[in-house]
A and B are shown apart, each in its own frame.
Chain A
Amino acid sequence: MIDAAGLIVTPGLIDMHAHLREPGDEEEETIWSGSRAAVAGGITTVAAFPNTEPAVDNEASAEFVVLQSRRAGYANIFPVGTVTLRREGEELSEMAGLAKAGAVAFSDADRCLRSAEMMRRGLLYAKMFGRPVVAFCEDSDLRCGGVMNYGKVALRHGLPGIPAVSESIIVARDIGIAEITQGHLHIGQLSAAGSVALVKQGKEAGVMVTAEVTPHHFTLTDEACEYFDPNYKVLPPLRSQSDVEALLGGLRDGTIDAIVSAHAPHAAEEKAVEFVYAPFGVVGLETLFAASYTSLVEKHGFELLEVLAKLTINPARLLGLEAERGGLSPGKLADVAVFDIQTDRVIDPEGFESKGRNSCFGGLTMRGSTIHTFVAGRQVVSEGRVLGPSEETVAEH
Chain B
Amino acid sequence: MGWNRKHLLGLEDLSREEIIELLDTAEGFREVSTRSVKKVPALRGRVVVNLFFEPSTRTRTSFELAGTRLSADVLNFSGSSSSTSKGEPLNDTARNIEAMGVDIVVVRHSCAGAAYQLAQVLECSVINAGDGAHEHPTQALLDIFTIRQRKPNFEGMKVAIVGDVSHSRVARSNIWGLQKLGAEVYAVGPSTLVPNGLAKLGVRVSHNLDDVLEEVDVFNMLRIQKERQEKGLFPTIREYAKLFGLNGERMKRVKEDAIVLHPGPINRGVELTPEVADGPRSVILDQVSNGLAVRMAALYLVGACAPQGGQAEMQRAGAGERLCRRSSSREDGCSTRRPVSTRSAISCSRMTGCSPWPRRPREERERTVLKKMRR
Judged by a CB distance under 8 angstroms, whether A276 is at the interface is yes
Chain B residues near A228: list those with CB within 8 A. 112-113, 116-117
Chain A residues near B133: list those with CB within 8 A. 158-159
A interface bracket (residues with beta carbon within 8 Å of B):
10 to 19
Q: A228-B113, A228-B117, A275-B111 are in contact. Are A155 and B200 (CB under 8 A)?
A: yes
- How far in angstroms is the closest Cβ of chain B from A154? 9
Verify B197–A152 contact, CB threshold 8 A.
yes
Q: Which one, B12, B116, B117, B167, contacts A156 given CB within 8 A? A: B12
User: How many residues on chain B are close to A (CB under 8 Å)?
Assistant: 25
Verify A272–B91 contact, CB threshold 8 A.
yes
Verify A275–B113 contact, CB threshold 8 A.
yes
Tally inter-chain residue pairs, CB-CB below 8 A.
58
Chain A residues near B89: list those with CB within 8 A. 269, 272-273
Give chain A interface residues in 259-293, CB to chain B under 8 Å: 269, 272-277
Judged by a CB distance under 8 angstroms, whether A100 is at the interface is no
Give chain B interface residues in 81-131, CB to chain A under 8 Å: 83, 89-91, 109, 111-114, 116-117
Verify B116–A274 contact, CB threshold 8 A.
no
Judged by a CB distance under 8 angstroms, whether B263 is at the interface is no
Chain B residues near A152: list those with CB within 8 A. 197, 200-201
List the B residue with the shortest CB-CB distance to A274. B111
Q: Which one, A155, A158, A269, A272, contacts B132 given CB within 8 A? A: A158
Chain A residues near B223: list those with CB within 8 A. none
Cα of A273 to Cα of B120 in the assembled complex, Å: 12
Give chain A interface residues in 216-230, CB to chain B under 8 Å: 227-228
List the A residue with the shortest CB-CB distance to B115. A228
Verify B112–A276 contact, CB threshold 8 A.
yes
A145-177 vs B, CB cutoff 8 Å, 1 = contact: the mask equals 000000110011111000000000000000000
List the A residue with the shortest CB-CB distance to B114. A274
Cα of A275 to Cα of B81 in the assembled complex, Å: 13
List the B residue with the shortest CB-CB distance to A225. B113
Chain A residues near B112: list those with CB within 8 A. 157-159, 228, 275-276
Chain A residues near B134: list those with CB within 8 A. 157-159
Verify A277–B12 contact, CB threshold 8 A.
no
Judged by a CB distance under 8 angstroms, whether B32 is at the interface is no
List the A residue with the shortest CB-CB distance to B109. A274
Cα of A158 to Cα of B117 in the assembled complex, Å: 15
B129-173 vs A, CB cutoff 8 Å, 1 = contact: the mask equals 000111100000000000000000000000000000001110010
Verify A158–B114 contact, CB threshold 8 A.
no
- How far in angstroms is the closest Cβ of chain A from B160? 19
Q: Which one, A151, A155, A277, contacts B111 given CB within 8 A? A: A277
Verify B117–A155 contact, CB threshold 8 A.
no
Q: Which one, B90, B135, B198, contacts A155 given CB within 8 A? A: B198
Chain B residues near A155: list those with CB within 8 A. 195, 197-198, 200-201
Cα of A273 to Cα of B88 in the assembled complex, Å: 10
List the B residue with the shortest CB-CB distance to A160. B133
Chain A residues near B109: list those with CB within 8 A. 274
Task: Report which residue of A151, A152, A156, A158 has the largest number of chain B beta carbons within 10 angstroms of its beta carbon.
Answer: A158
Verify B200–A274 contact, CB threshold 8 A.
no
Chain A residues near B91: list those with CB within 8 A. 272-273
Give chain B interface residues in 29-68, CB to chain A under 8 Å: none
Interface residues of B (CB under 8 A from A): 12, 83, 89-91, 109, 111-114, 116-117, 132-135, 167-169, 172, 195, 197-198, 200-201
Interface residues of A (CB under 8 A from B): 151-152, 155-159, 227-228, 269, 272-277
List 30 A–B pairs whose Cβ atoms lie within 8 Å, in order of A's numbering: A152-B197, A152-B200, A155-B200, A155-B201, A156-B172, A156-B201, A157-B112, A158-B112, A158-B133, A158-B135, A158-B172, A159-B112, A159-B113, A159-B133, A159-B134, A227-B116, A228-B112, A269-B89, A272-B89, A272-B91, A273-B83, A273-B89, A274-B83, A274-B109, A275-B112, A275-B117, A276-B111, A276-B112, A276-B113, A276-B132
10 nearest A-B residue pairs (beta carbon)? A158-B133, A228-B113, A274-B111, A277-B83, A158-B134, A276-B111, A275-B113, A158-B112, A159-B112, A157-B112
